[in-house]
Structure 1
Amino acid sequence: MSIYEHFRPEERSLIDHFSDLRDQAAERYVSKRTDFLDPRQQIILKSVIGSRDDVRLSFFGGYDQAERARALILPKYAEEKDNPFQLSYLEVRYPSKFGMITHPQLLGSLIGTGVSRDKIGDLLIEEGHAQFICTEELEPYFALNLNSVGKMSVSCVPIKRQALLHGVDDWQNFDGTISSLRLDTVLSEVYHLPRAKTSELITKGFVKVNWKIVEKRDFEICEGDCLSLRGFGRSKIISSGGLTKKNKIRIQYGKLK
């Protein structure tokens, strides 16, 4: 069975890219490092590497619970160099007495400087504080070019990894059954909403799958997908498979508290 059969058609080019990195590491004996990958992309890369024993795979996004992470593909006996993932940690300083920076505002401003989302890791927001992780080569660029977020003037300064604000996301896991893996059906189970309501929200552009807006009600959800429904929070599909006596599909999913 081809690896393509386990993933979506639109993910084929990503599978090919990861396969090329794997082959370069194994055949040319060179280490290969990716940009930041979201959890779905990390699952695909793990599948591409599989159980091969001629390469090693590791991920790191700046802290243990990081959602977005860079991957390092190493030949079997290669040694990791210092700072192998080449990450930088930056704090956005602003006058918090005039307001608070939100996650969407900061992400919009970062991308507004012309930098690809693939070069930016997690954004860490707490009251009065905003931080983000990026590839090492972009540290001086952001320090020079990130001057405002929303309507507030800001400065961007490097910090030590130990100064990151990160906490642990509080996920709660559930088991459920669904008639199909259609997006509207999965959302109905996860968020306890009528299917007609989830269909309406999908067509309005209120739903994201793996951080991309999806407006097709029959979009098929896969294990490892991350979902968000505006106003209802985020969720993720941990596992799917197996049928009940009534031919319903068993799923396990997580929701942020």
Structure 2
Amino acid sequence: MLENVYQHFRKEERPFIDQVTGWIRACEDQYAPYLTNFLDPRQAYIVETIVGKRSEIKLYTFGGYEAAERVRVYICPEYYIPKQDEFDITLCEIRYPLKFAKMSHGKVLGTLLSTGLKREYFGDIISDGEKWQFFVEDSMKSFVLNQVDKIGNVSVRIEEKTYLDMLLPIDSWTVVQETVSSMRLDTVIATLFNISRQRAKQMVESGKIKLNWAEITRPDFELGLLDIVSVRGFGRLQIQEIEGKTKKDKWRIQFGVLHK
């Protein structure tokens, strides 16, 4: 059974696949729901693919708002429909002197991870251009509120907010149709950000690239559906749809691009 599942994904994704099959098995055997930590789009796609058309199991996803990239997945028996508050997500706002300091996604994320918590406990980090908010699992809310009082050299206060207080994020993906000669990481970066393949390769090898929020140093890594790549100094890209190959054997891809 697992071997059939493994063949559809990367070798390095096997530990996560094992986790997912464990969650599903527990749900089927015990008729008990399972709520995951925050998953990135690629992980959520893997869960949805493995659950597939199992009639006795259903999936529900929520990340704090409709367009969330990072979501918690609720795996449950088909007769159960979870309520929104069962996803156990808290919205927090960073209060700081807006006139005298600037925040960035990288600074906020770095500070949150410096508490010792893993990325999976946090959802999206959003901004309207001035104010910043983030989503965190309810179980870690008090810890974060008590631990974070500075971001860089700026004194901050973390406040819990309701969903009525949620900012309207200014980030929005630009949809780009592009053809690439291969799905190699360096090839895709070079094409989307209009730089040389050699420069893209050097950026990957020097640790300036993150794949699904984790550093990657392999230029030849083959990207897949819903992968998100962060390119320091340029922005982010996402593989939104793989449309197939052209007559010249190139990949026709729909990308989402966020320029820095």
TM-score range, shorter chain: over 0.9
CA 1:193–1:159 in 2, change beyond 3 Å: closer, same or farther?
Answer: same
Offset at residue 249 of structure 1 (A)? 2.3
Q: TM-score, normalised by structure 2?
A: 0.92
Return structure 1 stretches of 4+ with deviation > 3 angstroms.
Answer: none
Amino acid at match of 2:209: V
Out of 175, 185, 188, the residue aligned to residue 186 of structure 1 is 188
Which stretch of the first structure deviates more once superposed, 69-78 or 29-38?
A: 69-78
Give the Cα separation in 2 of the matches to 1:103 and 1:169.
Answer: 11
How big is the shift at 1:127? 4.2
Query: Pairwise mapping of residues 1-257 of structure 1 onto structure 2 (< 5 A)?
Result: 2-81=4-83, 83-167=85-169, 169-240=171-242, 242-256=244-258
Amino acid at match of 2:142: P
Unaligned runs of 5+ in 2: none
Q: CA RMSD in A?
A: 1.8
Consecutive unaligned residues of structure 1, counting only runs of 5 or more, are none
SS at match of 1:110: helix
Measure, in 1, the Cα distance between the counterparts of 2:197 and 2:44.
Answer: 30
Structure 1: distance between partners of 2:130 and 2:254: 36
Asked if the contact 1:33/1:85 (under 8 Å) is kept, the reply is: yes
For 2:140 and 2:251, the matched residues in 1 are separated by: 45
Measure, in 2, the Cα distance between the counterparts of 1:180 and 1:208.
19
Tell me by how many angstroms 1:176 deviates. Answer: 2.4
Alpha-carbon distance change, 125 to 168 in structure 1, aligned in 2, over 3 angstroms = closer
CA contact (8 A) 2:64 2:135 kept: yes
1:82/1:64 CA distance change after superposition, 3 Å: closer
Instruction: Return closer, same or farther for 1:252/1:128 CA change in 2, 3 Å cut-off.
Output: closer
Secondary structure of the 1:158 match is: strand
Identity %: 35
Report the 3-state secondary structure (helix = DSSP H, G, I; strand = E; otherwise coil) of the residue aligned with 1:139: helix
51-60 vs 214-223, greater mean Cα deviation: 214-223
Pairwise CA distance, 1:51 = 1.0
Task: Output the CA distance in 2 between the equivalents of 1:52 and 1:5.
Answer: 19
Cα distance in 1 for residues equivalent to 2:188 and 2:129: 33
Which whole-Å CA distance do the structure 1 matches of 2:170 and 2:4 have between them? Answer: 36
8 A Cα contact 1:65 1:168, kept in partner? no
How many residues are paired up? 257
- CA deviations over 1:217-240 (Å, ceiling 9, x no partner): 111111211112222211111223
Given the two structures, how large is their TM-score scaled by the length of structure 1? 0.93
